[in-house]
Amino acid sequence: MYKAMAHTSESKPSLIRWEERDGVKVAIRHDGRTPDQLRPIRMEVGVLSNADGSALVEYGGTRVIAAVYGPREAVPRHVALPDRAVIRCRYHMAPFSTEERKTPAPTRREIELSKVIREALEAVVLTELFPRTTIDVYMEVLQSDGGTRTAALTAASLALADAGIAMRDLVAAVAVGKVDGVIVLDIDEIEDNYAEADMPVAMAPNLNRVLLLQLNGVMTHEEFTKAMELAVKGINTIYKLQKEALRKKYVSVG
């Protein structure tokens, strides 16, 4: 991220290669993906035995673990609300998650992401069922390769479902972007560094609601519409994988 700033436009590498496939010109990305292709995704639920619910999510090289505790008695007591549960979120990048060591202290960026993730989760969790309690969600980025906030949100909603917390829908998220003028799905670190635009999107697919939408960079109206369509497509795929991962926990034995 910081390296990108040091580069001038001359040293910007070409991230899109145009190839003929079946007589059509298609954009091929630096890792061989087509613009509408997700990275390989892996999800596992119930990976931590001490937490009430947990999940591990990988989007290519991005790896995030989420743990949920609660609903539990609010400590300190004054944070509790009389009519609903409080959700507390911590998005954090491990010092070893990036190429250069990141200081373990929470940065401005991490504090902001914790807030937007919390707001996305508050929209689906039925907090009114457990007044005066807290639900703690911890997300730890183990390895960062772009799209960590979306992977964190996907993992957090899996962990909440695993903890048996009532929610109206799961949350699935993915980042879209504009790289060398092409709208691409699930952008990774290198693409993000040189992208003209980066747009993380989170949705509750069954409710058909957008819960998080951020945009870094510039897109035209048509580009935005196309990016959004691509994001919805990616989110629906991720949503199916989430349900599969949750079901898998219960199909064995018997």
Using CB under 8 A, list all residues that contact other proteins: 52-53, 70-73, 82, 124, 126, 129-133, 161-170, 204-207, 243, 246-247, 250, 253-254
Smallest gap, in angstroms, from Cβ of residue 246 to other proteins?
5
Centroid of chain to Cα 57: 9
Smallest gap, in angstroms, from Cβ of residue 226 to other proteins?
27
Smallest gap, in angstroms, from Cβ of residue 76 to other proteins?
15
Nearer to other proteins, 172 or 174 (CB): 172
Nearer to other proteins, 204 or 230 (CB): 204
Nearer to other proteins, 93 or 165 (CB): 165
Smallest gap, in angstroms, from Cβ of residue 169 to other proteins?
4
Nearer to other proteins, 109 or 168 (CB): 168
Q: Is the Cβ–Cβ distance between 53 and 164 less than 8 Å?
A: yes
Nearer to other proteins, 90 or 209 (CB): 209
For residue 128, which amino acid is it?
E
Smallest gap, in angstroms, from Cβ of residue 117 to other proteins?
17
Dihedral of alpha carbons 72, 77, 79, 81, sign:
positive
CA angle 177, 115, 50 (to 5 degrees): 105
Cis link prior to 131 (omega < 30° from 0)? Answer: no
Provide the token pair at 42.
């892996």
Smallest gap, in angstroms, from Cβ of residue 178 to other proteins?
30
Nearer to other proteins, 136 or 145 (CB): 136
List, as one string, the DSSP characters of 179-231.
ETTEEEES--HHHHHH-SEEEEEEEETTTTEEEEE--EE---HHHHHHHHHHH
Q: What own/partner pairs with CB < 8 Å and gap ≥ 24 does 109-117 have?
A: 113/149, 113/152, 114/89, 114/90, 115/89, 116/149, 116/212, 116/214, 117/89, 117/91, 117/149, 117/152, 117/153, 117/156, 117/212
Smallest gap, in angstroms, from Cβ of residue 52 to other proteins?
8
**Which value, in Å, is the radius of gyration of the alpha carbons in the chain?**
19
Q: Is the Cβ–Cβ distance between 191 and 184 less than 8 Å?
A: yes
Nearer to other proteins, 202 or 227 (CB): 202
